[in-house]
Amino acid sequence: MRIGFDAKRAFANKTGLGNYSRFVLNALMAHEPGHDYLAFTPKNNQNLFQEFPETAIRYPEKFIDKKLSAYWRYASITKQLQKEDIAVFHGLSNEIPQGLRRANIRSVVTIHDLIFERLPNLFKPIDRAIYRHKFRSACERADSVVAVSDQTRRDLIELYQVDDSKIRVIYQDCSPVFKNAVSQEEKTNIRASYGINGPFILCVGTLEERKNQHRLVEAFAALKNHDFTLVLIGKPTAYVEKIKAIITALGVEKQVLLLQNVPTVHLPALYQEASVFAYISIYEGFGIPIVEALHSGTPVLAAKGSCLEEAGGPGGFYADPYQTESISQQLHKLITDAPLRRSLADAGKLHVLQFGGEHIASQLTGLYKSLI
């Protein structure tokens, strides 16, 4: 079976949709090698996916498609898919091209989240309109819709009236770098390079309003009689000024570290050294940082109300993301009870087995075969 993928993000995005696309393609190549997997992308000039075979990458062929790559992905790619004898086309990032059904090409689209519908105030009106058109259209035209969490499945049914029978919940795993134990010497050196001394609570994620780090700072500041540090790692946005103001107002400048531009190769060591991983984002599509923490053997404090309880399962404690007191109470339990942390870490290691590449690849190929 020849399966094509809209793989633009795999070759262009360092995080998020790029990580998902690379995970899917790597899992399929490793665990379901009996098929032909072709990645369609406008360009490949960032060296983000060097392990994918160049012979299986397809670019726009016509001059006009090279110049208008967005239109190529939206419509004219379909003729190229026919030429390549593609049986199933999988849009890995919320959209699929026009004309697939007329071309007798079966289709799958992965929908990651509908955050722009749930939290519209965080998006520009024009962006919401574009996303809504793309997502709705893809769901209507695709033969099957992959939701990355049950939360996304429920959102698709409620907000877009997608038939439940058309949706398959298929999770994803994180990068394999988080599954490898880092030597104690390397962990110690990496900690020291960032000035992290003593036990610490780790949070990794873009510093933006939805991620809710300011309430995490407030909850941390309310803790009494401890020697923990709170380490926030992420790309800064304008929201970082709000976080800094709260840090100053609460007098915890010496106990909260804000770090940016931390390379991925350093993250496994920091995850493995953290006593607690805190991720109290108000809304997510799945929550890969939680999976990274569980693979690292680190217990999780996450938010109730979206998909994070799916990601963390029995490996985490959960709090109301709008209630600082709730967050602080759960944090207190975790930092004062080492046996509890160990039991959560053990449970988390078992929970994340269901997100493994072999399992996901089997689910995906089973779905592709069911469409033929």
Give SS3 for 19.
helix
Decide whether 2-173+356-371 matches 176-354 in CATH topology: yes
- Tens-digit pLDDT profile for residues 63-112: 999 999 999 999 999 999 999 999 999 999 999 999 999 999 999 999 99
**pLDDT reading at 306 higher than 90:** no
Q: How many Cβ atoms are within 10 Å of 107's Cβ, its own excluded? A: 23
Q: Which residue type does 138 have?
A: A
pLDDT for 15: 81
The pLDDT of 275-297, averaged and rounded, is 94
Nearest CA-CA partner of 351 in 129, 115, 171: 171
The span from the CA of 280 to the CA of 215, in Å, is 8
Reported as a pLDDT band with limits 50, 70 and 90, residue 237 is: very high
Residues 115 and 154 sit within 8 Å (Cβ to Cβ): no
- d(CA 240, CA 247) in angstroms, rounded, equals 10
- The domain spans of the chain are 2-173+356-371, 176-354
**Three-state secondary structure call for residue 192:** helix
Q: What's the pLDDT at 53? A: 95
Place of tokens 């207190």: 332
pLDDT value, residue 176: 87
pLDDT at 343 > cutoff 90: yes
β-pair type (106-111, 316-319): unpaired
Paired with 100 in beta bridges are none
Long-range contacts of 190-194 (CB under 8 A, 24+ apart): 190/266, 190/269, 190/270, 190/273, 191/269, 191/270, 191/273, 193/266, 194/231, 194/257, 194/259, 194/262, 194/270
Q: Say yes or no to pLDDT of 29 above 90.
A: yes
Q: Which residues face 364 on adjacent strands?
A: none
Burial class (CB within 10 angstroms; exposed 0-12, middle 13-18, buried 19+) of 212: buried
Closest listed residue to residue 356, CA positions, set 72, 27, 129:
27
The model carries a pTM of 0.90
Angle of helix 240-249 versus helix 213-221 axis, rounded to 10: 10
Mean pLDDT of the chain: 95
**pLDDT bracket for residue 223 (50, 70, 90):** very high
CA 15 – CA 213 distance, rounded (Å): 19
Q: Which of the following CATH numbers is that of domain 2-173+356-371: 3.30.420.40, 3.30.1490.20, 3.40.50.2000, 1.20.120.140?
A: 3.40.50.2000
Q: Which fold is adopted by the domain 176-354?
A: Rossmann fold (3.40.50)
